[in-house]
Amino acid sequence: MKRRTLGRLTLASLLATPALATAQENVQTLGTVSVTATGYETLVADTPASVTVIESGEIRNREARTLGDLLRGQPGIATAVDGSVGSDPIIRGLKRDQILVLVDGVRINAMQPPARGSLASYVNVDLIERIEIVRGPGSVLYGAGAMGGVINIITRGGDFTEEPETRGFSRLGVTSVDDGIRGAIGVTLSNDRNVLDLSVAYLNTDDYETGDGDRLRDSGTEQNAYHLRYRGKLAPGHEVQFRAQRDERKDVWYLASRTLTPSDGQRPQGVNTHYTPRQTRDLLEVRYEGDLPGAWAPRLEASIYRQELSRGNYDWSDRLQQDYRTSDTDFTTDGLRVQTELFPTDDQILLIGAEAWRLRASPVSFIGVPPDYDPAVRMPLVENGKIESAGMFIQHETYLEQATVNLGARYDEVRGSADAAMGVSEPLDKTDRNFSWSAGLTWHLDEAFNPYFSLSEGYRSASLLERYLTYPYSDGFTWLSNPQLDPERNRTFEVGARGHIGATSYTVAAYESRIRDYIGGRVVEDAAQPTKETINLDEARIHGLEALVEHAFTDAISGYASATWIRGQNRDSRFNEPLTQIPPPEASIGLSQSMAQGWQWDARLRAVASQNRTADRFTQDSERETSGFATADLAVGYRFGPSAGFRSNEITFSVTNIANKTYREHVNEMTKARLDPANGVQDIQAPGRSFGLTWNAEF
């Protein structure tokens, strides 16, 4: 099959046109399409990787407050929990900067601050159109941080129309477990040359109830989001786009940091908690895409952006009822990406590109001293800290009669520098030179069995904070940074298969990842204060299995079952224990009915095994054993046809955690030593039973 037509719909155009993705959801004959896996629109069936696309319909019907809520239960995916908002995604046991999170194709990992939950809380769920998940190393296309996989969050928007048109959407909802209210509205003005999208969203939740009826203190939050996008056709085949986004959260408490502190001279005695009173993400971006003259029909895409994270990192004393340490920091990232698609023949796509970005931050903390702990002593932590990355990549995809072959390579230089860093020895500069590569084959053997194979290597250079921030973190340890850390490197071999047997489709995958120079924190023995030093481990290995089966019982009713099994090995001889925070095996099953008009319903069951393979020596009890659990969710609604000025609208009633289970996710940052209800410290149990009512409309 020729693929040139697919190649013409490129990364920038689909990222800027989520309406197109919605249309494809209803055209099943084309199969599921992803742009994140190859940098341009490609059928998942032709991709030598494990790829999941969470479509708009599923997102609309989920009572999710964060990205972690939407990802939980997907094969090979877990979340690291540090509170109701703090839920960082995990792909195959790798998390935080080891995977890359994009919002409309722009990386947010480059802004990583020291507190948990930073990746999942910078986009409002009600403004998400679709989510694309690519498992395994993706550094060939995306550079630093994509060594474990890529999650691309694509927000809502419209497309060009032949005639002037006004469209919009709205969403209103309430939830019982947290007395939550939410709302979103968006409007698209379009004609054959211009598209203007405006959307806003609001979320406000109180402290939620756990299954045992207790309120999890300080688990509530407030979120506001404002998105604007303009697309204009300069001439046939040439388009310019402008995007502005602002996402804001208030009162984000990192509950795993809550602990009863003795009188240590650094922190007030009593219960203390790390929190963020306010955080914002601001994005300004300009894109261009166009068809150029010349051989091989070149198509050029270019993007330039500035993204700024403003974040407060505060520490609160319950006894004093005041902050005893404060820090307000701007993490500013400037980026540029250019890529050109070339079509030597109708059966080949050649992608050549370059990317550069720079992160800057100069965090300053104000600390208090006994007896009043008023945070007035200025502590300059890092002066003119920078991470600068520049790289070039090439990827070639060939479509043969019986196979699709994908080869790629990339070279990057990542430089860290700072004028000064408190408590850090010189030299402060270090440049990493990284070579990434990938090789994959998809064998179109039969409709019932299409195996694929891939071997790839990706990398992650140490973050600005791992290099330069020596500071008392919220986990109770002072972390010693290291400017000379080597980059992590992940080499993964994966074998899998996809196929259709009648009304049943399936995907299975098995993989082994070998991570050299794994970055972690080692507890320093006999230190005057609890201290960890940031080090490179010799090697870590992760291997696992994933499976997803879907079956269409009728045109309206379908079901699915998924399973994940994973193991991690710490191969450093200094630590004879499992690799830290590897998610336990789990399985999910679901059944749903979806119709253009009429009753809709969706039932889900998730079962998670117990976990006792904890890495206690390396983490010093920060990782805990977890009991197995099972949860069930149900949503029932009715979809109306065009009426009362709406193109469509639907009302959905949902119940999550039907059995009101009391449970905790395994990858939970709360340590065993901190838990003592008598001292006002609660475990981070998941929300109990919740009733929700949601109204979605298109107009």
For residue 150, give the nearest of 77, 86, 60 by alpha carbon. 77
| Sequence letter at residue 588 | S
Determine if residue 149 is left, alpha or beta; phi over 0 gives left, psi from -120 to 50 gives alpha, anything else beta. left
The string of DSSP codes covering 484-522 is TPPPEEEEEEEEEEEEEETTEEEEEEEEEEEEET-EEEE
Residue 699 domain flag: no
Phi then psi for residue 7, to 5 deg, are -65, -25
Looking at 309-452, list the stretches that DSSP marks H as alpha helix, in order from N- to C-terminal side: none
How many helices (DSSP H) and strands (DSSP E) are in the chain? 8, 41
Q: Is the pTM of this model over 0.75?
A: yes
Judge if the upstream peptide bond of residue 427 is cis by omega within 30 degrees of 0: yes
What pLDDT was estimated at residue 118? 58
Q: Is residue 697 part of a domain?
A: no
Mean pLDDT throughout 685-691? 95
Over residues 498-513, mean pLDDT: 96
Asked whether residue 418 is assigned to any structural domain, the reply reads: yes
Look at the block and give the residue holding tokens 């696309």.
Answer: 53
**Considering the domain boundaries, does residue 265 fall inside one?**
yes
Overall number of domains in the chain = 1
The one-letter code for the residue type at 548 is L
Show the domain range for 593.
4-691
Q: pLDDT tens digits for 364-383?
A: 899 999 989 999 999 999 99
Question: How many residues does this entry show for the chain?
Answer: 699
The percentage of residues in the chain with a pLDDT greater than 70, rounded to a whole number, is 93
Q: Give the integer Cα–Cα distance in Å for 566 and 583.
A: 7
User: Would 524 be classed as within a structural domain?
Assistant: yes
Give me the chain's average pLDDT, please: 89
The pLDDT assigned to 495 comes to 98
Determine, yes or no, domain membership for 37.
Answer: yes
What is the CB neighbour count within 10 angstroms for residue 280?
A: 17
Q: Tens digit of pLDDT for each residue in 155-174?
A: 999 999 999 999 999 999 99
Q: Would strands 100-103 and 149-155 be described as parallel, antiparallel, or unpaired? A: parallel
Q: What single DSSP character describes residue 371?
A: T
CATH number of the domain residue 98 falls in: 2.40.170.20
Beta-sheet pairing, 194-205 with 221-235: antiparallel
In a domain, 359, yes or no: yes
For the segment 190-219, the average pLDDT, to the nearest whole number, is 95
Residues 157-192 as b/e (b if ≥16 CB within 10 A, e otherwise) read: bbbbbeeeeebbbbbbbbbbbbebebbbbbbbbbee
Is 195:188 a contact under the CB 8 Å cutoff?
Answer: yes
Q: How far apart are CA 598 and CA 620, in angstroms?
A: 54
* pLDDT tens track for 81-127: 887 676 788 999 998 789 999 999 998 875 554 444 456 677 899 99
Tell me, yes or no, whether 519 lies in a domain.
yes
Whether residue 117 contacts residue 606, with contact meaning beta carbons closer than 8 Å, is answered with no
